[in-house]
Amino acid sequence: MTSPAAADLLAWYDRHRRALPWRALPGERADPYRVWASEIMLQQTTVTAVRPYYERFMARFPTVAALAAAPSEEVMQAWAGLGYYSRARNLHACAMAVMADHRGRFPDTEDGLRALPGIGAYTAGAVAAIAFDRPAAAVDGNVERVMTRLFAIEDLLPGARPLVRERVMEMMPPDRPGDFAQALMDLGATLCTPRNPACGLCPWREPCVARSEGTQESFPRKAAKKAGATRYGAAFVLSRQDGALLLRTRPPKGLLGGMAEVPTSEWRADYELDGAAQDAPVVTRWRELAPPVRHVFTHFPLELTVFTARAPAGMAAPPGMRFTPAAGLGTEPLSSVMLKVLELAGAYSSSKTR
Ligand code: SF4
C-alpha cells in the first residue's frame, strides 16, 4: 500500500475546491480578518447556515477596525440567529484586542493567535495556516474523520487528537500549508462524510487503510457516552485583584448538590476543549494550566482542564455567581475536586483549613 501524499490531495483540491465567500481565490492572498470571522462563525454551525450571515456581517463590519468600533448591541444584533452568543461576545472582544494590542493586524503565528480572546487551538491553527500560510494543523471533526480513516487510528477521541495532529504535520507540504488545511476540510466535508463516504472519488483511496479494510464508518473511534466513561470539562478560576474568587453554588439536587464550585463547562465524554472559551463565565484572557485535574466519582472519572484569569478589583460577579473573599474560602462548601482545581490554580491550600 502506498503512503498518502499531500500532492495527491492538493491536485484534487485544485480541481474541486469549494467556492466559499471567506476563501481567497487561487493566487489571491487570504484576508486574516475574513478567515478568522468565518472560523468563529463555523464553530458548531454548518457552512450553509453561516454563508448568508457571514455576507451580511462582512457588509456591516468590513474590517476588524469597524467591528472593534461597533457598539456591542450592534454586533449581537448582526449575530442574532446564529446562536451560541458567547461566540459573538468573544468575536467582539477579540477585534478590540487586535486593535488595542496589535495595531489592527492579526498576529501571524499560532501562539500569537491563541493569546487572543475566544481563539482555541483549532481556530489558531486554521487562521495561521489559511491566512498566513504557516505550517499549522487545524484539526476539526472533519479532519479527525479523514485522518483516523486514512491511518486506521484505533485510539479513542478526544485522546487521539495529538496523534491526528502529528499525522497532519508529518504530511504538511511546506509550500502550501494553507491550501493543505483547506483541502483536508473540503475532503472531510464533501467526500469523507460520516455516512457513505465517496471513497471512489477520493484522491487517497489507494493509501486509505480503512477503505482497504471496509471499516470507514467505524472511524473515528470515540469514547462511549456511557456511565463509566471519562468525562471532560473546563474549570475557570477567576481571581479578583483583592484576592476574592468567583464561585457559584451547584443545583440542590444531583451530583455534588448544593456544593460550591468555580464556574465550569458541562462535564461530558465528548467535551471539546477547543471551545472552552465559550463556556467561560466572562470574556477575558484565560490561561490554561497543565496537567488537568483528575478525580474519580462513583460513576465516572472526571478530567477538568483548569483555566485562570485575573479580574479588576471592583468587578461585580455575573448573575448567579459571587466573589468570595480569600479569607472566606474555608467556609465555602467546596468539594474535593474543587479543592484540587483551586490548589492547581494556586488559589487555595487544603492544608489551611481542611
Ligand atoms: S478513501 Fe474514503 S474513507 Fe478513506 S479518506 Fe478517502 S473518502 Fe475517507
Question: Which residue's alpha carbon is nearest to atom 8 within ligand 1?
Answer: 192
Do the Cβ atoms of 58 and 31 come closer than 8 Å? no
What residue ranges in 189-300 does DSSP mark as E strands? 231-240, 245-249, 260-261, 287-288, 293-296
Instruction: Please provide the size of the chain in residues.
Output: 354
Report d(CA 26, CA 173) in Å as an integer.
17
Distance 190 CA to ligand 1 centre (A): 11
The set of protein residues with a Cβ atom below 6 angstroms from ligand 1 is 146, 149-150, 191-192, 197, 199, 202, 204-205, 208, 210-211, 216
Res. 93: pLDDT tops 50: yes
Predicted confidence at residue 353, as pLDDT, reads: 38
Rounded alpha-carbon distances, angstroms, from residue 197 to 22, 92, 228: 26, 38, 31
Residue-by-residue DSSP string for 8-31: HHHHHHHHH----TTSPPTTSPP-
Q: What nine digits make up the cell of 10?
A: 492538493
Greater model confidence, 224 or 109? 109
Phi, psi of 98 (to 5 degrees): -65, -40
Predicted confidence at residue 119, as pLDDT, reads: 93
User: Residue for cell digits 457588509?
Assistant: 59
Distance 197 CA to ligand 1 centre (A): 6
Longest CA–CA separation in the chain, Å: 66
Distance 139 CA to ligand 1 centre (A): 16
User: Residue for cell digits 496523534?
Assistant: 163
Q: Which residues are catalytic?
A: 39
The ligand 1 atom at the shortest distance from the C-alpha of residue 198 is 7
Q: What nine digits make up the cell of 133?
A: 500560510
* Percent residues over pLDDT 90 in the chain: 70
pLDDT tens-digit series, residues 144-202: 999 999 999 999 988 899 999 999 999 999 999 999 999 999 999 999 999 999 999 99
Res. 257: pLDDT tops 80: no
Distance 156 CA to ligand 1 centre (A): 19
Greater model confidence, 195 or 332? 195
Q: Work out the average pLDDT over 274-286.
A: 90
Domain topology for 231-353? Nucleoside Triphosphate Pyrophosphohydrolase (3.90.79)
Question: Which residue's alpha carbon is nearest to atom 4 within ligand 1?
Answer: 208
Report d(CA 116, CA 101) in Å as an integer.
10
Question: Which residue's alpha carbon is nearest to atom 1 within ligand 1?
Answer: 205
Do the Cβ atoms of 307 and 289 come closer than 8 Å? yes
The ligand 1 atom at the shortest distance from the C-alpha of residue 197 is 7
Predicted confidence at residue 110, as pLDDT, reads: 95
Residue 105 identity: R
Distance 13 CA to ligand 1 centre (A): 15
Out of 142, 196, 204, give the residue to mutate to test ligand 1, the one with the largest number of ligand atoms within 8 Å of its CB.
204
| Closest by Cα among 32, 195, 174, 46 to 98 | 32
User: In sequence order, which residues have a C-beta less than 8 Å from that of residue 114 and are 6 or more positions away?
Assistant: 120, 121, 124
Q: What nine digits make up the cell of 220?
A: 473515528
Do the Cβ atoms of 232 and 158 come closer than 8 Å? yes
Report d(CA 32, CA 39) in Å as an integer.
10
| Closest by Cα among 161, 132, 129 to 145 | 161
Out of 1, 144, 150, 153, give the residue to mutate to test ligand 1, the one with the largest number of ligand atoms within 8 Å of its CB.
150
The answer to whether the peptide bond before residue 117 is cis (omega within 30 degrees of 0) is: no
The answer to whether the peptide bond before residue 158 is cis (omega within 30 degrees of 0) is: yes
- Of the pLDDT bands very low, low, confident and very high (cuts 50, 70, 90), residue 222 is confident
CATH 3.90.79.10 domain extents, the chain? 231-353
Phi, psi of 290 (to 5 degrees): -135, 155
Q: CATH assignment of 6-218, given 3.40.50.620, 1.10.340.30, 3.40.1190.20, 3.30.2010.10?
A: 1.10.340.30
Question: Which residue's alpha carbon is nearest to atom 2 within ligand 1?
Answer: 199
Residue-by-residue DSSP string for 43-62: TTS-HHHHHHHHHHHHHH--
Do the Cβ atoms of 181 and 125 come closer than 8 Å? yes
Gyration radius of the chain over CA positions:
22
pLDDT tens-digit series, residues 35-73: 999 999 998 788 988 999 899 999 999 999 999 999 887
* Percent residues over pLDDT 70 in the chain: 95
